[in-house]
Amino acid sequence: MDLAKTLKSPRLNGWPLFWLIAGPTSLVMIVGTLRTASWDGPAVSSMIQLSVRFSVPWLFLAFAASSLQVLYPGPAALWVSRNRKYFGLCFAAGMAWQGFFILWLVTVYSDYYINEVYALRDAIEGVVGYAFLAAMTVTSFMPVRKRMTPKAWKLLHKSGIYFLWAYAASTYWWALYYYQNPVPLDYVYYWAGFVAAALRIAAWTRKRNKKERKAKPHGESRPALKLLGFAIIGAAVVFAALAKSWYPIAEELLYGYSFTRWPELYLPYWPFEPYFALFIIAAAGFLIAKARA
Ligand code: HEM
């Protein structure tokens, strides 16, 4: 099979690709709704869960798209980059379904929402997430996009995709390392989100390293620093996998001070435990990028 030729097929690009994904996703939501015998808070909540599970993979793909091009140039990475907008819109379409079920939950099963779901900080994160998603969706269309400067458009889409990635990544982190009954899909989605972010760090490191080599053509490479960088990355992945054991200590150390009261109540994702391992990997990436005297 000629992969490059297949991935150039009109049916696998642009709007046909969007409908190939969003069409069946919507069908699953409609069938799921019609097959639900009796409605209550938990039933609507499980449709929220289903709609997100059909959305998150496209978010992670759009998040990793440009990095795949840097790290693994070829027909597959090119296809993902070429269709990044449409993968983003597939995520938006799935999240439109989540939005529909959320409105249903909040308006019809308000008691359940208030007693079982509502938490101020989650609501702040969720509403900001939807605000970003709405802005990114409308500015994906040229008539709106051309009214923005390229710099403003890039800032919106970069901060928006980082915010939405952070929401999904932290939801699965809490499912694995704080709540009691993670399902196998939670592990798949957590590590997929982790790898998507790690690919961005690796692509940044590769680009930075290239820049260093260009700036210092006669510079000496420092293999020890590189080795240290890779050792730190290995340790960070183990640290990420052992979060269940270190989280209670982090909770003791990071919560409950008078000066952290405000961020604990209002600041999205504070104090950022789900990303600690990725912060360490980013620092190691910086070391590796600098491994040239
Ligand atoms: C105010 C806005 C939001 C509300 C009220 C809300 C509500 C919910 C509820 C009730 C669930 C749990 C479903 C269940 O387990 O039964 C859920 C799951 C989830 N939501 Fe949202 N959400 C909001 C915004 C968002 C945003 C912006 C994202 C961005 C990516 C998102 C991603 C997720 C994810 C990843 C899950 C986990 C699904 C799973 O278990 O696999 N949500 N949400």
Q: Which of 219, 228, 272 is nearest to 247 (CA)?
A: 272
Q: Do residues 288 and 229 touch, judged by C-beta distance below 8 A?
A: yes
Q: Give the tens place of pLDDT for each residue, 47-94.
A: 999 999 999 999 999 999 999 999 999 999 999 999 999 999 999 999
Confidence band, pLDDT 50/70/90 cuts, at residue 180? confident
Indicate which atom in ligand 1 lies nearest the CA of residue 48.
Answer: 13
Query: Which positions ≥6 away from 210 have C-beta within 8 Å?
Result: none
Indicate which atom in ligand 1 lies nearest the CA of residue 117.
Answer: 10
Ligand 1 near 50 CB (within 6 A): no
Ligand 1 near 49 CB (within 6 A): yes
Pocket test for ligand 1, best of 44, 49, 186 (most atoms within 8 A of CB): 49
CA distances from 78 to 8, 81, 85, 203, 208 (A): 10, 5, 13, 15, 21
Q: Tokens 């009954």 correspond to what residue? A: 181
pTM: 0.95
Ligand 1 near 117 CB (within 6 A): yes
If one counts every other C-beta atom within 10 angstroms of the C-beta of residue 4, the result is 11
Distance CA 50, CA 29 (A): 8
pLDDT above 90 covers a percentage of the chain that reads 90
Q: Give the tens place of pLDDT for each residue, 204-230.
A: 999 998 888 888 777 777 889 899 999
Q: How many angstroms separate the alpha carbon of residue 282 from the centre of ligand 1?
A: 27
Q: Give the tens place of pLDDT for each residue, 233-255.
A: 999 999 999 999 999 999 999 99
Q: Do residues 121 and 265 touch, judged by C-beta distance below 8 A?
A: yes
User: pLDDT value at position 293?
Assistant: 56
